[in-house]
Amino acid sequence: MLPALGAAGLAAALLAAGAALPVVDGGEPGFTSAPLLVALALLPVLLAAVLAARGWQAGAAGVLAGFAALAPGSVVLHLQFAADPSAAVRTELYLPTDLAQHSPAAGLWLLLSGHVMAAVAGVLAVRAGRRAETSGTSGTSAEGPDAVDQWRRRWLLPAVLAAVLAAIGLLMAPVVSEDVYLLARNAFEGPAFALAGYLLIAGALPLAAALAMTSASVDFARGCLAGLGVAVVLLALPSVVAGAVVPVAGISAGPIVALAGAAGLFWLARTSSVARAVPEQADDQAGGASVPGRRRLQVATGVLAMLTAAAAIAGSFAAQLATAGPGPAPESPARWLLFTAGALVGVLGAAMFVPRLAPVVRPVLSVAWAGVLIAATAVLDTAITATGFRGSVSTGPGVLPAWLAMCGAAVTACCSAVTGVVEREDIGDIDGTQSGAPGESRVDVNLLTPLAAAAILSVAAFGMPVVTAPDYVAAGLWSEFRTPSWGLLAGALTVLGAIALALRSRPVPGAGLLTGAATLLGLRAATLPLSGAYIDGARPGSGFWFALAAAAALLIAAGIAVAGRSRRAAT
């Protein structure tokens, strides 16, 4: 554990030095933030050192690992100071007072080095935590495996939801401002590096929380949740202080939401498997093989999907732009695509309330959620592009529900994934098999050809334009990378992930994943009739045909998976 603590100490020193020095030449922070930033930089290593000194090696390792989970996103986020400091809304580090281009200063490089060293400390901490588990010094010797498992099942979903809440807050505008030099925008309205950094952070939060909860050591999981909370506080608390003391800024709801999520993570880090597992364990013994909570998870997934659908439909009807002059504001061509994606998620969410349909529909929903992301980024691109030029155009009431639909879709995906894990474990408990048992999860060689073709066609479908027109340039993956490209990238990765997971899944859930991927590609092809009607001279692009071909290959593969199961059942 000493190497990890040493690397974390060096990271804290670099972060503290970077906070005390200017990040750009000739620039100053909006307030005297150095004492606060130095204290926050030292917090994770001090917490880990205290836990290690008390003999909780796994808990100390978890703190450093959780804090390091957000380091890659923080590195990308800080690179915005090198690209365009005036667009980086980080008043605790730099408050722009003019439109002049400033070059990076020593503080920026120290901050970047500190986050890189924090990532190194996290890797060393994970290794130390594994050694602590195997040597029996993790601090959980009094907790049996049944208690640990029940603790994990009880708090997995709350941990992921707390992390998602923190992620939503960080994606919102850090401060409120009407100053011409301080463009306080949310992540999706901001510049490329800031958007990429916040998206990496937002994605890492629930993923790290979920991975921490799968650890065999409760102390490591609790420490990791605490480390994630510290990292969120490091990002959110300075914005709250800036909103309170900087004259041209005001307090935004975003950092408050993020701190609420961090508070949830801290509270979960205090839970004990021994104290919390007994009631649920008794329920398991009374109820036989069925594990309480699976149905509640299915209902929670359905509720989240319905809320996401409501936000998406509201975002499709409300105006994305508002104009001060006469005449209506221009509308987004993708608004009916957002309506369709939201309605699809809503139908799937409603089906989750039917006990017999929920296990069949859930894999489809685990993929179809990305359709909201694809459509919402295309809708928001209208507002981002139009408001990028100073004039009489401003964002309209439709921006908020479209943005909330994206966040809701991500939360729905996390909840659906957690539900899938519990469903898979329950099936293994009921039929006496383990996840991945021979026969049920063996890769069907008949699936390899259609799935390989579908994977290649899917990348082409999301990378090539679906609609072409003389005066229209569509966003893509390897050219014209704009705001909608992030949605396309999420869609491509979701489809590829579904294909990879379907190869190792049972036939029915695997077929559901492939059906959801086909639905997502069908939605991609539907961009032509739904959005092309608002584009003069629109005609099918190569992406349209690739999307149809990929959807067909995926449906064929889904049919093969179900047919293979029927053949095995007959024999």
- Which one, of 205, 255, 254, 200, lies nearest residue 225 by Cα? 205
* pLDDT recorded at residue 282: 39
* pLDDT recorded at residue 325: 58
- Which one, of 552, 494, 485, 551, lies nearest residue 521 by Cα? 551
* pLDDT recorded at residue 339: 93
* pLDDT recorded at residue 214: 73
Residue with tokens 């130390």: 128
* pLDDT recorded at residue 386: 66
Contact in structure between 24 and 103 (CB atoms under 8 Å): yes
Q: Which amino acid is at 401?
A: P
pLDDT beneath 50, residues of the chain: 138-142, 274-292, 390, 429-441
Q: Give the number of residues written for the chain.
A: 571
In 340-481, beta strands by DSSP E: 393-395, 467-468
Contact in structure between 120 and 7 (CB atoms under 8 Å): yes
The pair of structure tokens assigned to 349 is 């969410």
* pLDDT recorded at residue 435: 42
* Number of Cβ atoms within 10 Å of the Cβ of 302: 26
- Segment 115-152, tens digit of pLDDT: 999 999 888 888 876 666 655 554 444 455 566 667 77
Instruction: Say what the pTM is.
Output: 0.68
Domains of the chain: 289-435 (1.20.140), 437-570 (1.20.140)
* Number of Cβ atoms within 10 Å of the Cβ of 418: 23
**Could you tell me which residues are beta bridge partners of residue 175?**
251
* pLDDT recorded at residue 108: 87
| CA–CA separation, 43 and 9 (whole Å) | 10
* pLDDT recorded at residue 49: 87
Burial class (CB in 10 A: 0-12, 13-18, 19+), 303: middle
